[in-house]
């Protein structure tokens, strides 16, 4: 089967950098995605990694190491609006995404 | 934003009654999905569709059925609602492949008393 592990909660200070880790176990791994969800809202797509390395999109970056079955989401220059839940999701073959249970990020002043 | 709507947005019903949730898309995407989201469990896939009349089960399909008679509509039915089905239900769509980026609807909050 497939499984993902990510921390349940992370707290960071406004303006700082935070890293949210995700480890996964799956067969036929194709890629890792990240989604953001604000309280009361719907999940929205943030990033996708199919190859090893770092992908940068503005203040957000996502990293993948296929050999370690590990990835992370890096948020820089944290803002209060970044307080949300973040989900990693694996893509394997032609099957639907499997989501982790999510990491709740709290940004404090 | 992708054109996805869900109806109703909120519903309160009683145990044992049938409930149908509707997902409607205007993007002509091939794949449609139904998830439920509960505290501590993240997003769990109920059923998904890879084309008109083509559906498959997800991780938590017991007690749910789906139908897709048109590309744009994907219905989720609880034949006899139970309190354990109280949840927030999200519909999502993707094009191309089942693993492609998914776009989510606004969600339906269902309470079964």
Interchain pair B99, A102: CB under 8 A: no
A70 has a chain B CB within 8 A of its CB: no
pLDDT at B1 over 90: no
Is residue B23 a contact partner of residue B9, using CB atoms and an 8 Å limit? no
pLDDT at B2 over 70: no
Average pLDDT over residues A64-72: 97
- As a whole number of angstroms, the distance between CA B24 and CA B66 comes to 13
Average pLDDT over residues B79-102: 90
pLDDT band at B110 (very low <50, low <70, confident <90, very high): very high
Average pLDDT over residues A100-105: 96
Question: Nearest residue on chain A to B89, judged by CA atoms?
Answer: A42
Of B43, B97, B103, the CB nearest to A87: B43
Average pLDDT over residues B64-68: 97
Interchain pair B48, A100: CB under 8 A: no
Specify the 3-state DSSP secondary structure of A81.
helix
Average pLDDT over residues B42-62: 93
- As a whole number of angstroms, the distance between CA B80 and CA A14 comes to 47
Instruction: Give the pLDDT score at A86.
Output: 98
pLDDT at B17 over 70: yes
Interchain pair A44, B43: CB under 8 A: no
A97 has a chain B CB within 8 A of its CB: yes
Average pLDDT over residues B75-86: 97
Per residue in A4-56, pLDDT (tens digit) is: 999 999 999 999 999 999 999 988 888 999 999 999 999 999 999 999 999 99
Specify the 3-state DSSP secondary structure of B85.
helix
Sign of CA dihedral A21, A26, A30, A35: negative
Per residue in A72-88, pLDDT (tens digit) is: 999 999 999 999 999 99
A3 has a chain B CB within 8 A of its CB: no
Is residue B64 a contact partner of residue A60, using CB atoms and an 8 Å limit? no
Interchain pair B43, A99: CB under 8 A: yes
Instruction: Give the pLDDT score at A91.
Output: 87
Which of B99, B104, B108, B109 is most worth mutating to test chain A (most A CB atoms within 10 A of its CB)? Answer: B99
Is residue A31 a contact partner of residue A49, using CB atoms and an 8 Å limit? yes
Does a cis peptide bond (omega within 30 degrees of 0) precede residue A68?
no
What is the average pLDDT score of chain B? 94
**Contacting residues of A for B90, CB less than 8 Å apart:** 42-43
A91 has a chain B CB within 8 A of its CB: yes
């Amino acid at each position: 089967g497939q499984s993902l592990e990510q921390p349940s909660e992370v707290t960071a200070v406004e303006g700082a950098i935070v890293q949210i880790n995700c480890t996964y176990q799956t067969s036929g791994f194709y890629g890792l995605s990240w989604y953001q969800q604000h309280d009361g809202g719907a999940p929205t797509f943030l990033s996708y990694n199919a190859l090893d390395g770092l992908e940068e999109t503005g203040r957000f970056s996502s990293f993948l190491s296929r050999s370690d079955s590990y990835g992370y989401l890096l948020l820089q220059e944290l803002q209060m609006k970044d307080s949300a839940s973040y989900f990693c999701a694996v893509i394997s073959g032609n099957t639907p995404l499997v989501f982790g249970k999510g990491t709740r990020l709290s940004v404090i002043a | 934003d992708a054109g996805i709507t869900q109806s109703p947005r909120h519903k309160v019903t009683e145990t044992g009654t049938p409930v149908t949730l509707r997902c409607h898309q205007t993007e002509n995407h091939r794949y449609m999905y139904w998830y439920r989201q509960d505290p501590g469990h993240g997003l769990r896939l109920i059923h998904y569709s890879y084309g008109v009349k083509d559906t498959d089960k997800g991780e938590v399909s017991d007690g749910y059925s789906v139908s897709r008679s048109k590309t744009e509509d994907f219905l989720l039915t609880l034949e006899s609602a139970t309190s354990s089905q109280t949840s927030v239900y999200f519909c999502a769509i993707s094009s191309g492949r089942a693993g492609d980026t998914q776009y989510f609807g606004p969600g339906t909050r269902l309470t079964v008393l």
